[in-house]
């Protein structure tokens, strides 16, 4: 039996699909308030409970061989208590439950943001330290703390491996992730302003493949970066326009203009009880221009991420097929075009 926490999330439900397709028995941990639609039609055992409840987590780990711990609050706003309680306390609960139940392996999904932040434009690989004091934002700090807790537990008898993905994109985004929200806003002609920066984006299916391979082959206490393709936001929009032309993104702002605007838009959307896309943290992230290396995962685990074009094409087609966005006309079908500009 394999336990997957955060099973209804974007990465979680794709992982569950892959495990089930390999004829493995899966127990899916789902928060009490979450819709299980992402798991519909899959032969899984669903257990409902709060990852912050140590007794529930210990019970969920009974009879389990391996645990994939994906449950997390991903925030670009900094909801301090829920972020810390789920990401740190929840991970501590999983660690203790694995130790008490003698779970064979724990595969923990951390974040690229858990790494200490060097100067802008630096290369980040696994040699960069994990230090919550040298990260920005409550989410990054929480993932750094949780990662250190997992690595510390490997010295106490727990067999654990940590995977740090970059920006995850791709199909089966039922609950609409931060990246999924961006794609939907673009497709509905509601994404008017971009950031003059860059980031690295990785396909959800490639991260899942690495998680499974890490469980099979990775050594205890190892940490791997799951990066995909580094790209400027301007070039990212160009790819979207080749796949699905839209009247979106009229202006790309430098950081000194984007920061004050992000403060205003965050306050506005929160007042409207809507999730903002442009926040001070998102501006910070996109203007650091870090390059993330997955060479270690390629060398040791055969990791081979696909091109970003393919990931975005499949994500947009999935959103279309499942009614999140309307189909494009036949003249604007999912065909790569030889021309197109982001400006």
**What does the CA dihedral 238, 240, 243, 246 come to, rounded to 10 degrees?**
-100
Of the listed ranges 48-57, 116-125, 267-276, the one predicted with least confidence: 267-276
Q: Does residue 158 sit within a domain? A: yes
What CATH number does residue 20 fall under? 3.40.50.720
Residue 106 resides in a domain: yes
Residue 260 is assigned to a structural domain of this protein:
no
Distance CA 274, CA 270 (A): 6
pLDDT for residue 330:
43
Residue 340: predicted pLDDT: 35
Q: DSSP code of 53?
A: -
Of the two residues 182 and 265, the one the predictor is more confident about is 182
Nearest alpha-carbon partner for 170 in 287, 305, 284: 305
- 102 belongs to a structural domain: yes
Counting the structural domains of the chain, the total is 1
The pLDDT value given to residue 341: 30
pLDDT at position 26 over 80: yes
Instruction: Give the DSSP letter of residue 327.
Output: P
- Region at 34 (left for phi over 0; alpha for psi -120 to 50; beta for the rest): beta
Which pLDDT does position 205 carry in this prediction?
Answer: 98
- 288-310 mean pLDDT: 98
In a domain, 182, yes or no: no
Instruction: Please give the share of the chain, as a percent, with pLDDT higher than 90.
Output: 79
Residue 36 counted as domain residue: yes
- Asked whether the predicted pLDDT for residue 336 surpasses 50, the reply is no
Mean pLDDT of the chain: 92
Within a domain: 336? no
Per DSSP bridges, beta strands 105-109 and 160-165 are parallel
Average pLDDT over every residue of 258-280? 78
pLDDT at 114 over 70: yes
Position 35 in a domain: yes
Tally Cβ neighbours within 10 Å of residue 338: 5
pLDDT at 342: 30
Question: In terms of residues, how long is the chain?
Answer: 343
Radius of gyration (C-alpha) of the chain in whole angstroms: 20
10 confidence band (pLDDT: 50, 70, 90): very high
Distance CA 302, CA 299 (A): 6
**Does residue 289 carry a pLDDT above 50?**
yes
- In this predicted structure, the answer to whether residue 334 has a pLDDT above a threshold of 50 is no
When pLDDT is cut at 50, 70 and 90, the band that residue 261 belongs to is: confident
Quote the domain boundaries for residue 116.
Answer: 2-170+201-229
**Residue 27 in this model has a pLDDT that exceeds 80:** yes
Find all residues with CB under 8 Å of 272, minimum gap 6, and list them: none
Please, which residues bridge with residue 30 across strands?
Answer: 48
């Amino acid at each position: 039996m394999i336990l997957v926490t955060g099973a209804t999330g974007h990465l979680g439900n794709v992982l569950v699909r892959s495990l089930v397709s390999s004829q493995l028995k899966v127990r899916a941990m789902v928060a009490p308030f979450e819709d299980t639609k992402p798991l519909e039609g899959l032969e899984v055992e669903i257990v409902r409970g709060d990852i912050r409840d140590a007794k529930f987590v210990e019970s969920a780990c009974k009879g389990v061989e391996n645990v994939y711990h994906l449950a997390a609050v991903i925030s670009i706003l900094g909801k301090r208590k829920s972020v810390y309680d789920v990401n740190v306390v929840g991970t501590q609960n999983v660690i203790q439950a694995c130790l008490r139940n003698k779970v064979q392996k724990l595969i923990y999904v951390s974040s690229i943001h858990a790494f200490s932040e060097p100067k802008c434009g630096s290369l980040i690989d696994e040699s960069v330290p994990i230090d919550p004091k040298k990260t920005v934002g409550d989410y990054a700090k929480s993932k750094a703390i949780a990662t250190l807790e997992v690595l510390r537990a490997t010295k106490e008898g727990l067999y654990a491996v940590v995977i740090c993905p970059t920006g995850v994109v791709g199909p089966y985004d039922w609950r609409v992730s931060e990246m999924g929200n961006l794609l939907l806003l673009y497709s509905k002609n509601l994404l008017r302003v971009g950031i003059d920066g860059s980031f690295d984006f990785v396909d959800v299916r490639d991260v899942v493949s690495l998680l499974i391979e890490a469980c099979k082959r990775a050594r205890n206490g190892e940490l791997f970066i799951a990066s995909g393709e580094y790209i400027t936001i301007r070039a990212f929009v160009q790819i979207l326009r080749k796949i699905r032309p839209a009247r979106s993104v009229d202006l790309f702002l430098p950081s000194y203009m984007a920061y004050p605007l992000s403060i205003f838009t965050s306050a506005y959307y929160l007042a409207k009880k809507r999730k903002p896309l442009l926040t001070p943290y998102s501006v910070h992230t996109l203007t650091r221009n870090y390059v993330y290396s997955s060479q270690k995962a390629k060398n040791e685990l055969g990791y081979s991420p696909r091109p970003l074009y393919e990931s975005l094409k499949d994500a947009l087609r999935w959103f279309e097929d499942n009614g999140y966005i309307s189909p494009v006309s036949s003249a604007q079908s999912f065909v790569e075009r030889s021309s197109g500009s982001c400006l």
